[in-house]
C-alpha cells in the first residue's frame, strides 16, 4: 500500500478478506443441513456493509509502530469487523431495532425461516442470538489464522480478551441504566465501554501489540483512542434523532423509544427546568412503543430549544481536539500521523 493512504482501497481489501472468509464459513454451516440456509444468508448479510473503521485503526496501530504494510495484518484487522458484526446483531436484538443499513435486522429477517414455528418471533430472536455468538467465534478464528507469527499474536491475546470483556460490560451497563433518570456521567461511561474502547482504542492497541509497540506508544494510542471513540458514539447519538434515516439506514427515534441512556437525552434533561422535564417525561411515555405522530418532532424541538444538540457538538469537538493533541508527542511516521488525523475527522463528521 502506498504511503498516501487511500481509505477506499483499504476498505476494499478488508471487504475482500471478509467476503472470502465468511462465504466459506456460511457454506460450511449450510452444509450441515439445508434448513440452516437462512442463517447462513444472515451470516453473510451481517458483514456485507460497514465503514471498516475498526480494521483501519488496527492497521494504523501496526503501521504507527513502524511496521510495513502486510496482507496478514489486514486479515487480523478484518477480524475486528467480525467482532463489530457480532456486537451489532446482539445490540439490535437487545434494543429490538427494526433496521440496520436500511435492511431488516437479523432477528426480524429470520422470522421468514420459521413460518410454522409456534413461537416464531421468539425463535427468530434465539437464532439471531446464536448468529451473533457464531460471528464472535469466527472473529477469533480469523485473527488466529491470519498468517501473522504466533509470537506476534501472543502479544495481542490479552488485549483481545479485554476487548470482549469491556464490550460486554458496556452493553450490560446500557441495559442496567435504561429507564433510569438521565445522567450524563453514566451515559458517558456506557459510551466508553460499549463503543469507544472497541471502536478505536482497542483496535489501535491490538495493532500496536502485534507490531511490538512499547508502553509509551500504547499510552499514546489510549490518549488518542478513548476521546475519539467517545466522540464517535456522541455523533451516533445525534444521528439517531437528528440524522436522515435514508442515510443512516436506521429507524429514527429508536434511542428515545427504548429510553436508552444517551448523552443527548442526559444533556437535555440536565438543561431542562421542571416544566420541560415534565413535558419530556410525558413525550417519552413508557418507552418501547411507537410514539404518536409528531412526538419525535416535538422532542427534537424541545432539545433544540434547550441547546442539547449544541452541547453534544461541543463535547464532540473537545474530544476530537484532545485526540489529535495526543498524536503530537508520539513521533509517528508521517503516513501514520496523517491517516489517524484523517480517521479522527471522518469518524466524527459522518452523515451516517
pLDDT digits (tens, 9 = 90+) for 226-243: 999 999 999 999 998 998
pLDDT confidence tier of residue 325, bands split at 50, 70 and 90: very high
Q: How many CA atoms lie within 13 A of 323 on its CB side?
A: 30
pLDDT band at 72 (very low <50, low <70, confident <90, very high): very high
User: Does residue 278 lie within any of the structural domains?
Assistant: yes
Domain count, the chain: 1
- Per the structure, the complete domain to which residue 140 belongs is given by 7-348
pLDDT at 286: 54
Cβ within 8 Å of residue 67, ≥6 positions away: 73, 210, 211
40: CATH? 1.10.600.10
Q: Which residues have C-beta within 8 Å of that of residue 20, sequence separation ≥ 6? A: none
pLDDT confidence of residue 1: 45
Q: What is the pLDDT of residue 244?
A: 86
Measured between alpha carbons, how far is 156 from 159 in angstroms, rounded to an integer?
Answer: 5
Query: Residue 262 domain-assigned?
Result: yes
Report the pLDDT value the prediction gives residue 73, as an integer from 0 to 100. 98
Instruction: Give the residues across from 55 on adjacent strands.
Output: none
Note whether residue 237 is domain-resident: yes
Residue at 2 is within a domain: no
The C-alpha atoms of residue 161 and residue 184 are separated, in whole angstroms, by 28
* pLDDT tens digits along 166-193: 999 999 999 999 989 999 999 999 999 9
249: left (phi over 0), alpha (psi -120 to 50) or beta: left
Would you place residue 349 in the very low, low, confident or very high pLDDT band (cuts 50, 70, 90)? very high
Q: Do 129 and 90 meet the contact criterion of CB atoms below 8 Å apart? A: yes
Beta strands in the chain (DSSP E): 99-100, 103-104
Confidence (pLDDT) at 287: 52
Instruction: Output phi, psi for 179, to 5 deg.
Output: 90, -10
3-state secondary structure of 350: coil
pLDDT of residue 121: 93
Measured at the CA of 103, the angle between CA 99 and CA 108, to 5 degrees, comes to 65
Check residues 253 and 109 and name the one with the higher pLDDT: 109
Tens digit of each residue's pLDDT (9 = 90 or more) over 327-337: 999 999 999 99
Q: What is the mean pLDDT of residues 138-164?
A: 96
pLDDT digits (tens, 9 = 90+) for 190-220: 999 999 999 999 999 999 999 999 999 999 9
303 has a pLDDT exceeding 90: yes
> Band of the pLDDT at 14, cuts 50, 70, 90?
very high
Per-residue pLDDT of 81-134, as tens digits, reads 999 999 999 999 998 888 888 889 999 999 999 999 999 899 999 999 999 999
- The answer to whether the beta carbons of residues 90 and 132 sit under 8 Å apart is yes
* pLDDT at position 259: 81
The answer to whether the beta carbons of residues 256 and 173 sit under 8 Å apart is no
The pLDDT value recorded for residue 139 is 98
Query: Given pLDDT bands bounded at 50, 70 and 90, which one contains residue 348?
Result: very high
DSSP state, residue 291: P
* pLDDT over 60 at 67, yes or no: yes
Contacts of 31 (CB under 8 A, 6+ apart): none
Residues 63 and 69: beta-carbon distance below 8 Å: yes
Domain assignment present for residue 1? The answer is: no
Angle, nearest 10°, between helix axes 215-242 and 184-191?
Answer: 120
Q: Average pLDDT of 272-301?
A: 82
| Average pLDDT estimate for 318-346 | 96
Q: Note the pLDDT of residue 5.
A: 83
- Is 267 inside any structural domain? yes
User: Mean pLDDT throughout 241-267?
Assistant: 84
Q: Is residue 174 part of a domain?
A: yes
Quote the pLDDT of residue 255. Answer: 81
**Does 2 have pLDDT greater than 60?**
no
- In the numeric block, the cell 481489501 is attached to 13
Amino acid at each position: 500500500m502506498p504511503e498516501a493512504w487511500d481509505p477506499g482501497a483499504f476498505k476494499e481489501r478488508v471487504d475482500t478478506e471478509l467476503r472470502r472468509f465468511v462465504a466459506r464459513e456460511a457454506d460450511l454451516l449450510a452444509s450441515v443441513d439445508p434448513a440452516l440456509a437462512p442463517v447462513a444468508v444472515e451470516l453473510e448479510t451481517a458483514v456485507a456493509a460497514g465503514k471498516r473503521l475498526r480494521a483501519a485503526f488496527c492497521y494504523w496501530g501496526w503501521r504507527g509502530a513502524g511496521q510495513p504494510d502486510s496482507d496478514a495484518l489486514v486479515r487480523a484487522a478484518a477480524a475486528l469487523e467480525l467482532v463489530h458484526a457480532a456486537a451489532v446483531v446482539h445490540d439490535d436484538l437487545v434494543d429490538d431495532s427494526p433496521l440496520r443499513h436500511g435492511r431488516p435486522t437479523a432477528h426480524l429477517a429470520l422470522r421468514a425461516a420459521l413460518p410454522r414455528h409456534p413461537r416464531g418471533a421468539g425463535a427468530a430472536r434465539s437464532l439471531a442470538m446464536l448468529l451473533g455468538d457464531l460471528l464472535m467465534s469466527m472473529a477469533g478464528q480469523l485473527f488466529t489464522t491470519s498468517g501473522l507469527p504466533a509470537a506476534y499474536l501472543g502479544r495481542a491475546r490479552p488485549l483481545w480478551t479485554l476487548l470482549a470483556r469491556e464490550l460486554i460490560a458496556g452493553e450490560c451497563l446500557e441495559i442496567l441504566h435504561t429507564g433510569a433518570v438521565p445522567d450524563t456521567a453514566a451515559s458517558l461511561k456506557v459510551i466508553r465501554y460499549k463503543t469507544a474502547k472497541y471502536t478505536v482504542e482497542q483496535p489501535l492497541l491490538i495493532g500496536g501489540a502485534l507490531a511490538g509497540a512499547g508502553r509509551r506508544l500504547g499510552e499514546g494510542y489510549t490518549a488518542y483512542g478513548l476521546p475519539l471513540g467517545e466522540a464517535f458514539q456522541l455523533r451516533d447519538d445525534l444521528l439517531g434523532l437528528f440524522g436522515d434515516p435514508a442515510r443512516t439506514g436506521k429507524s429514527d427515534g429508536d434511542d428515545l423509544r427504548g429510553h436508552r441512556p444517551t448523552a443527548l437525552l442526559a444533556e437535555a434533561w440536565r438543561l431542562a427546568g421542571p416544566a420541560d422535564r415534565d413535558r419530556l417525561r410525558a413525550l417519552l411515555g413508557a418507552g418501547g412503543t411507537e410514539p404518536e405522530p409528531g412526538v419525535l418532532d416535538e422532542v427534537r424541538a424541545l432539545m433544540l430549544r434547550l441547546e442539547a444538540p449544541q452541547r453534544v457538538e461541543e463535547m464532540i469537538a473537545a474530544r476530537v481536539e484532545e485526540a489529535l493533541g495526543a498524536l503530537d508527542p508520539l513521533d509517528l511516521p508521517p503516513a501514520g500521523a496523517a491517516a489517524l488525523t484523517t480517521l479522527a475527522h471522518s469518524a466524527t463528521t459522518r452523515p451516517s
